[in-house]
Structure 1
Amino acid sequence: MKEIKQIYYNDSGTSFYWKQENEIVLDKVQLVFRETGFYFTKQELHLFKNCIDDSYMQNKYCDDCELKNKCSKFLLKTPCSQIDLAVSMEELDAVKDLVEGTLFKINLHDYLYGVGRN
C-alpha cells in the first residue's frame, strides 16, 4: 500500500496527498467521499467548492420540506463533466465541510511554509 499524508477528514470522507519515494506529491489531492475518490488539483478543488455552493442555491427552495435532510434527490455536479453525485442535504453539508476543510489546511500550509515565512 502506498503511503499518504492526510490533510483533512470528517465522518463522510478524507483528503490526503500521496507519497511517492518518500516525497509528498503536492500537485494533486486525493479526496474520498463516501465510496468515490477524486484526484483533484487545487484549482479543481475550488471548482468543486463552487459546484457545492451552486447546489445549495439550486436547492434552497426545499427549506420547508421535512425530508430535505434525508432524501437523495440533489444533484451535485463535480469538476469532472461526466460525473455528478446524488446527495442528500446531510451529505452535501459533509462534502462541503470536507472540501472547505481541505482547502483551508492547504492554504494554511502554503502561508506558513511559503509567503508567510520570514
Structure 2
Amino acid sequence: MQDIKQIYYNDSGTSFYWRKENDILIDKVQLIFRETGFYFSQYELQQFRSCIEESYKLNNCCEDCELKNNCRKFLLKTPCSQIDLAVSMKELTAVKDLVEGTLFKINLDAYLFGEGMN
C-alpha cells in the first residue's frame, strides 16, 4: 500500500490521500464507506458532515423501534447531488465517525505541521 497515506479508519471504512510518485496529493481525500468510494475535497467532506447531521435530525423518529439500528430506511444525502445512500442508524453513526475523524486528523496535521510549528 505504498500508493496511499492513510488518514483515518474505523470498522466501516477508511480515508486516505493518494500518492503520486513521491508526492502526497492532499487536495482530495479518498473516503471508502461500505463498498462505496468518494473522492472529496475538504470542503465537500465538510458538506458531507452537514448531510450526516441533517439525516440525524430527520430520522430521530424511530426511538421506540426495535429495528432502528439495523433497518436501512434512512436516506443519507451526499455532496454529489446524484448520489444518496440508504443506511441504518448504526451505519449512519459509523460514517459520522469516519468523516469527523478524517476532518479532525486533517485539521490536526495542518496545525501541527503548519502554524503550530514555531
1:71 equivalent in alignment to 2:71? yes
1:113 equivalent in alignment to 2:113? yes
Work out the CA distance in 2 between the residues paired with 1:2 and 1:52.
Answer: 31
Work out the CA distance in 1 between the residues paired with 2:19 and 2:61.
Answer: 43
2:96 is aligned to 96
Work out the CA distance in 2 between the residues paired with 1:2 and 1:29.
Answer: 16
Work out the CA distance in 2 between the residues paired with 1:104 and 1:82.
Answer: 27
TM-score (norm. length: structure 1): 0.97
1:57 equivalent in alignment to 2:57? yes
Work out the CA distance in 1 between the residues paired with 2:10 and 2:52.
Answer: 17
CA-atom RMSD in angstroms: 1.0
Work out the CA distance in 1 between the residues paired with 2:70 and 2:83.
Answer: 22
1:43 is aligned to 43
1:86 is aligned to 86
User: Following superposition, which runs of at least 4 residues in structure 1 exceed 6 angstroms of deviation?
Assistant: none
In the TM superposition, residue 54 of structure 1 has moved relative to its aligned partner by 0.2
Work out the CA distance in 2 between the residues paired with 1:64 and 1:4.
Answer: 43
Alignment identity in percent? 74
1:11 is aligned to 11
Work out the CA distance in 1 between the residues paired with 2:103 and 2:64.
Answer: 31
Aligned length: 118
Work out the CA distance in 2 between the residues paired with 1:35 and 1:2.
Answer: 21
SS at match of 2:27: coil
SS at match of 1:39: strand
Gaps of 5+ in 1: none
| Deviation readout 1:43-94 (Å, 9 max, x if unpaired) | 0000000000000000011111111001000000000000000000010000
In the TM superposition, residue 2 of structure 1 has moved relative to its aligned partner by 6.5
